[in-house]
Amino acid sequence: MRNALLGLAVAAALSNVVILISIMAALDRRGHKTNLFLARICPFRYVSAYKEATRKETGKTGRLYGLWIFTINLALALALAGLLVPRR
């Protein structure tokens, strides 16, 4: 059970990285400059820029923002659950 939870946490973290790259691509299309190195250090900068850009265009936040928040929370919750499950 522990390995399954930790495996799912890794999968959620990898999907979070893919979503962050998609957010950076969306920002590039909108004319914002992005840097992959800075995305590793402070991804929240690009996520908040994406949120503001999509709100400015459509009045709503983009779908990638919600997916990014969901996957980072899911990864943290699954990792915590995997670490709290006792070993056999």
Note down the domain range covering 11: 2-84
Closest CA to 36 of 53, 50, 23, 49: 23
Identify the band that residue 39 occupies on the pLDDT scale cut at 50, 70 and 90: confident
CA dist., res. 82 & res. 28, Å (int): 37
Name the one residue in this structure whose structure tokens are 């992005």.
Answer: 34
Q: What is the pLDDT of residue 88?
A: 75
How many domains, in total, are found in the chain? 1
pTM exceeds cut of 0.75: yes
Percentage, residues of the chain above pLDDT 90: 89
Tell me the H-state helices in the chain: 2-29, 36-41, 43-58, 63-84
Q: Residue 36 — pLDDT band, cuts 50, 70, 90? A: confident
Give me Rg for the CA atoms of the chain.
15
